[in-house]
Amino acid sequence: MAYQGMERVLPLPSSDPLQPPLEIRALVVWSPGKARLDAHLRATQLTRLETALRQLAGKLGRRPYTTPTAVQKRVAALGKGQPARRFLDIQIGGGPGTDRPLTLSWTRNETLLAPAAARDGRYVLGTNAPDLTATQMRERAKQRAVPEKRFALGNGPLAVRPVYVHKEERVLGLVFCTMGALLLFALRELVIRRAGLPLSGQQLLAQCAALAVVVLTLHDGSPLRQLTGLAPPVATLLDTLGWPPATHYVHPAPTS
């Protein structure tokens, strides 16, 4: 089988002690492909950390690695942010004040490695929908890349954030602005596809990024608006999409 799974009911306690817990259908899935990736990642991390320790061991006795304290600090720095650090038992011995030279050694902790390897390829899916089958749960979970990419757009190219707000009404307003910008971006991508253009929404933004209107105020107080950044490819692109020419936006619409 490509996948194996086991379903369990996971009760989540409510913040209100008078309310019953929320029951989540949890599906523990094992994927052979993910198991290979997990094992390869752990082996790579272990090898990388052991290589760094081996290089450090070759420098013992030379400044600044002449004392156990200095070596310990360096070992801590090498292990910082390294997931494989917990799988190694590292020993530092000898040094000044002893009759032995400064040494650095390590062994792999098989007691910790065995359960980590047993969890390779496993992940948990959860839902409160009672009518979804295990297969449907897995298929829908695989679609999470779609909203995650949209979250990335909201944090990046749309340039709606970062804006830091605290009041609830302002948080709601920020969410509304973000969702509105995302909707416009998605509609723009739909127009691009219908026009048969080999462009993504981000590529269209990049091509039109140079467009700008420079507003100059003359001596008599009258404004002069000049369009800049309108390269021929951009003009052709706007025409293909059926949008008004860029010069259409130079002069504001008259107000009634």
Mean pLDDT of the chain: 87
- Of all residues in the chain, the percent with pLDDT exceeding 90 is 33
Q: Are strands 103-108 and 22-30 parallel, antiparallel or unpaired?
A: unpaired
**For residue 143, which phi and psi values (nearest 5 degrees)?**
-85, 0
**C-beta of residue 116 within 8 angstroms of C-beta of residue 42:** yes
CA distances from 240 to 186, 192, 207, 231, 246 (A): 18, 9, 14, 15, 13
| Closest listed residue to residue 234, CA positions, set 226, 225, 224, 243 | 243
Output the pLDDT for position 34: 92
- Sheet (strand 4-12) strand order: 4-12, 22-30, 122-127
The mean pLDDT of 151-169, rounded to a whole number, is 71
CA distances from 39 to 36, 80, 113 (A): 5, 21, 10
d(CA 249, CA 229): 13
Q: Are strands 223-228 and 212-217 parallel, antiparallel or unpaired?
A: antiparallel
Lookup result for tokens 């860029």: 246
> pLDDT (tens digit, 9 = 90+) per residue, 54-99?
999 999 999 999 999 999 999 999 999 999 999 999 999 998 888 8
Question: Which tokens go with 139?
Answer: 């298929």
> pLDDT (tens digit, 9 = 90+) per residue, 164-200?
778 888 888 888 888 888 888 888 888 888 888 888 8
DSSP per-residue codes, 221-248: S-EEEEEE---HHHHHHHHHHTPPPGGG
The mean pLDDT of 104-133, rounded to a whole number, is 93
What's the predicted TM-score (pTM) here? 0.58
230 vs 113, more confident: 113
The mean pLDDT of 99-111, rounded to a whole number, is 95
Question: Which tokens go with 155?
Answer: 């944090």
The mean pLDDT of 141-158, rounded to a whole number, is 74
**Has residue 256 got a pLDDT over 60?**
no
d(CA 211, CA 227): 7
Output the pLDDT for position 160: 63
Output the pLDDT for position 255: 58
**C-beta of residue 189 within 8 angstroms of C-beta of residue 201:** yes
CB-side neighbour CA atoms (13 Å) of 101:
9
> pLDDT (tens digit, 9 = 90+) per residue, 195-222?
888 888 888 888 888 888 888 898 888 8
Query: Would you place residue 41 in the very low, low, confident or very high pLDDT band (cuts 50, 70, 90)?
Result: very high
